[in-house]
């Protein structure tokens, strides 16, 4: 029977070499001869103490939850946290004065305080380098700000969630649970939330659990379990495309669909069951897999590259925003990112193939930007002449412009970047030219008639 929990405590001390002389036996001419060696100096005296088992407090948590939430315990037992004797107690116990401090029924009256939430600050105690890298990435503050920052895009993103999607425009009270339902069921699940607490210091208003950029009451950012699902925290899971797919999918950024259409994805789908997914960090290399996953290209150690949790680090272009630019500032270093991504590719591809792929992306970005610049030029003239509606979602030109960027334009750029011809073409540029032609017709009508058409010609939610 497999044993998970040790009640005993063992202490093992490794104090360097303490033997004055060692002997070994060798065979010389058929005779067994004993040979003495001089003592080896202890050049790096160090004491390493390993304590096995759990404290009494930790054991109580395990025993209680094994009865009340057995699924959690079973998941945890199968992961490396349990094998390393990291228990519920190590991650969930907080200081009494922590803003997240509370007590479950099993702790009432004791001096132990816990939180059901485990923030990025807690994970950083054991994983400081990974957390530092994460905080430099778009997965941290930038992710959450897309949902909460009232200054971003002039407040348009917050307005989209609350005023438009949340129904404030037809009478639903702003800030009410009904009004927040769209944000909390969609946006914050991936982007992250600002956690709100009730009188008992537990999360309220559907602000937890939430996505990767969540801001916790202890001031820290990050939900590591978005990729390393609790309570197994599997590195193998985080390396698989499915780990990214819950957020990177859909009409506006169909990255998992793009990957699965690509040759890389084809190899993964036909051979992935045979791959070795659980190699040590930094040691997961070609041979363990025969094609890259999302993690291989964007995060994993490969060749001379070290593992990183900064997903911006190997990117050249910004393929998400309205106009693609080489990444700078908080979005990364695109010039350096191009060099790093090439160092990923060279592990499996020749230089001519790499150059061709990177040039094709540059050309696709140039084509998209040309579409976007033409749309901006027409919109600027319409605005100067007062030919745009205040509400962009009642204005056919502005609604189509959104889809030109946010849906068809992203699909064209990202499909090209990851070698998915159907998304680059049929879901991308093929729809882009139709959208832009419709926009041009609206522009020409308004300029000719010096007024806005009475009824929007856009009668659907746009191309999908």
On whether the CB atoms of residues 174 and 162 are closer than 8 A, the answer is: yes
Euclidean distance between CA atoms 91 and 86, whole angstroms: 8
Q: How far is CA 68 from CA 16, 77, 203, in A?
A: 45, 15, 21
Euclidean distance between CA atoms 74 and 369, whole angstroms: 51
Among candidate residues 277, 318, 319, the one with its CA nearest the CA of residue 300: 277
pLDDT tens across 319-334, in order? Answer: 999 999 999 999 999 9
Euclidean distance between CA atoms 351 and 343, whole angstroms: 10
pLDDT tens across 209-226, in order? Answer: 999 999 999 999 999 999
Q: How far is CA 413 from CA 59, 147, 361, 419, in A?
A: 52, 23, 7, 10
- Which token pair is 142? 């930038």
Euclidean distance between CA atoms 134 and 427, whole angstroms: 32
pLDDT tens across 65-98, in order? Answer: 999 999 999 999 999 999 999 999 999 999 999 9
Angle, in degrees to the nearest 10, between helices 70-77 and 56-68: 120
**What is the SS3 assignment for 289?**
strand
- Which token pair is 307? 């593992």
Residue with the two structure tokens 């030029």: 377
Residue with the two structure tokens 């991936």: 190
Alpha-helix runs per DSSP H in 404-462: 410-417, 421-424, 430-449
The per-residue pLDDT for 457 is 76
On whether the CB atoms of residues 15 and 47 are closer than 8 A, the answer is: yes
- Which token pair is 318? 């910004």
Euclidean distance between CA atoms 237 and 230, whole angstroms: 11
Global pTM reads 0.86
The per-residue pLDDT for 48 is 58
Q: How far is CA 57 from CA 4, 52, 67, 93, 464, in A?
A: 17, 15, 16, 10, 54
The Cβ of residue 33 has, within 10 Å, a number of other Cβ atoms equal to 10
On whether the CB atoms of residues 76 and 83 are closer than 8 A, the answer is: no
On whether the CB atoms of residues 302 and 296 are closer than 8 A, the answer is: yes
Q: What's phi and psi for 102, nearest 5 deg?
A: -150, 180
Pairing of strands 93-94, 11-14: unpaired
Residue with the two structure tokens 């499915």: 242
- Which token pair is 84? 């390393």
Pairing of strands 196-197, 113-114: unpaired
The Cβ of residue 36 has, within 10 Å, a number of other Cβ atoms equal to 8
The Cβ of residue 58 has, within 10 Å, a number of other Cβ atoms equal to 18
Burial tier of 440 (Cβ tally within 10 Å: 0-12, 13-18, 19+): middle
List the chain pLDDT tens, one digit each, 464 residues.
Answer: 444 444 333 323 322 333 333 334 444 444 444 444 455 565 656 665 656 688 999 999 999 999 999 999 999 999 999 999 999 999 999 999 999 999 998 999 899 999 999 999 999 999 999 999 999 999 999 999 999 999 988 889 999 999 999 999 999 999 999 999 999 999 999 999 999 999 999 999 999 999 999 999 999 999 999 999 999 999 999 999 999 999 999 999 999 999 999 999 999 999 999 999 999 988 999 999 999 999 999 999 999 999 999 999 999 999 999 999 999 999 999 999 999 999 999 999 999 999 999 999 999 999 999 999 999 999 999 999 999 999 999 999 999 999 999 999 999 999 999 999 999 999 999 999 999 999 999 999 999 999 999 888 776 665 56
For residue 225, give every residue at least 6 positions away whose Cβ sits within 8 Å of its Cβ, in sequence order, or none: 118, 209, 233
The per-residue pLDDT for 462 is 58
The per-residue pLDDT for 26 is 42
């Amino acid at each position: 029977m497999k044993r998970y929990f040790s009640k005993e405590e063992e202490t093992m001390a490794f104090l360097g070499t303490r033997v004055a002389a060692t002997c070994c036996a060798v065979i010389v001419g058929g005779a067994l001869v004993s040979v003495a060696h001089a003592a080896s100096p202890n050049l790096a005296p160090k004491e390493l103490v390993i304590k096995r088992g759990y404290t009494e407090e930790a054991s109580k948590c395990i025993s209680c939850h094994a009865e009340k939430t057995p699924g959690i315990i079973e998941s945890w037992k199968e992961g490396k946290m349990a094998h390393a004797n990291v228990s519920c107690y190590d991650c969930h116990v907080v200081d009494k004065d922590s803003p997240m401090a509370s007590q479950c029924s099993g702790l009432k009256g004791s001096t132990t305080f816990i939180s059901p939430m485990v923030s990025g600050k807690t994970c950083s105690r054991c994983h400081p380098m990974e957390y530092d890298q994460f905080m430099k990435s778009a997965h941290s503050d930038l992710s959450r700000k897309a949902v909460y920052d009232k200054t971003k895009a002039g407040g348009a993103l917050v307005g989209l969630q609350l005023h438009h999607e949340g129904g404030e425009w037809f009478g639903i009270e702003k800030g009410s649970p009904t009004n927040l339902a769209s944000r909390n069921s969609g946006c914050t699940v991936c982007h992250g939330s600002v956690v709100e607490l009730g009188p008992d210091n537990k999360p309220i208003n559907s602000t937890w659990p939430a996505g990767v950029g969540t801001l916790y009451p202890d001031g820290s950012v990050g939900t590591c379990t978005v990729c390393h699902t609790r309570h197994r925290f599997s590195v193998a899971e985080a390396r698989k495309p499915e780990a990214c797919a819950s957020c990177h999918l859909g009409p506006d950024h169909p990255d998992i669909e793009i990957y699965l259409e690509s040759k890389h994805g084809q190899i993964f789908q036909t051979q992935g069951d045979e791959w070795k997914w659980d190699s040590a960090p930094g040691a997961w290399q070609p041979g363990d897999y025969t094609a890259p996953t999302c993690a291989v290209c964007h995060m994993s150690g490969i060749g001379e590259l070290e593992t990183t949790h900064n997903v911006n680090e190997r990117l050249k272009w910004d393929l998400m925003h309205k106009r693609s630019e080489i990444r700078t500032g908080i979005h990364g270093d695109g010039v350096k990112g191009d060099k790093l991504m090439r160092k990923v590719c060279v592990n499996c591809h020749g230089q001519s193939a790499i150059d061709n792929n990177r040039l094709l992306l540059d050309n696709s970005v140039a084509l998209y930007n040309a579409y976007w610049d033409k749309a901006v030029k027409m919109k600027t003239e319409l605005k100067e002449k007062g030919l745009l509606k205040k509400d962009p979602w009642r204005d056919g030109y502005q609604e189509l412009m959104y889809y030109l960027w946010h849906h068809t334009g992203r699909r064209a750029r990202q499909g090209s970047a990851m070698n998915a011809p159907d998304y680059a073409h049929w879901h991308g540029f093929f729809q882009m030219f139709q959208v832009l032609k419709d926009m041009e017709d609206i522009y020409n009508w308004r300029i000719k008639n010096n007024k806005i058409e009475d009824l929007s010609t856009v009668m659907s939610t746009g191309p999908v």
